[in-house]
Homo-oligomer: A and B are copies of this chain.
Amino acid sequence: MANANLDDPDIRRLFESKNLVYLSSLMKDGSPQVTPTWVDIEEGYILVNTPNGTLKQKNTSRDPRVALALTDQNNPYHMVTIRGVVIEQITGVRAEEHIDKLAKKYIDKDKYPRRSSGEERTILKIKPESIFQMK
């Protein structure tokens, strides 16, 4: 296990493949919550996309501290665990375009097909503060 960064080619590959990330945030009482979700990385940040009003969106509005882990679906013993903070929540057109980008990546659809009526999306922009890789 070693300190690493998002430019590490093996870590990039983990994020660029169709692996889910398991994102933990903090409930109001300080207890943890974990949820699997789509992910990508952009310019050194980790981007997760959520409808407004989910636990992860509300939790990180209140306390931006998060952790996440992902493993290679073809080799579960190649894993990365990260701790960081949500430095920005991005809504509007950018978030709508971003969920389509993730739909393309994960399920090969040009448009995200599971929008609820009236749903608005939010990007959680995560700054990684510590990154550990094991392989």
Contacts and interface: CB of A to CB of B under 8 A. Distances in A.
Nearest to A82: B34
B25 A76 contact: no
A3 interface: no
A70 to B, nearest CB: 8
Interface string A19-52: 0101111110011111110000000000000000
Contact of A67 (B20, B31, B73, B83): B31
A34 B65 contact: no
A49 B81 CA distance: 18
Nearest to A38: B76
A36 B83 contact: no
B69 A36 contact: yes
A126 interface: no
Contact of A35 (B33, B35, B69): B69
A99 interface: no
A68 interface: yes
Interface of A: 20, 22-27, 30-36, 65-69, 71, 73, 76, 79, 81, 83
27 contacts: A20-B76, A22-B22, A22-B34, A23-B34, A24-B32, A24-B33, A24-B67, A25-B32, A26-B31, A26-B32, A27-B83, A30-B30, A30-B65, A31-B65, A31-B83, A32-B65, A32-B66, A32-B67, A33-B83, A34-B34, A34-B69, A35-B69, A35-B81, A36-B71, A36-B76, A36-B81, A73-B73
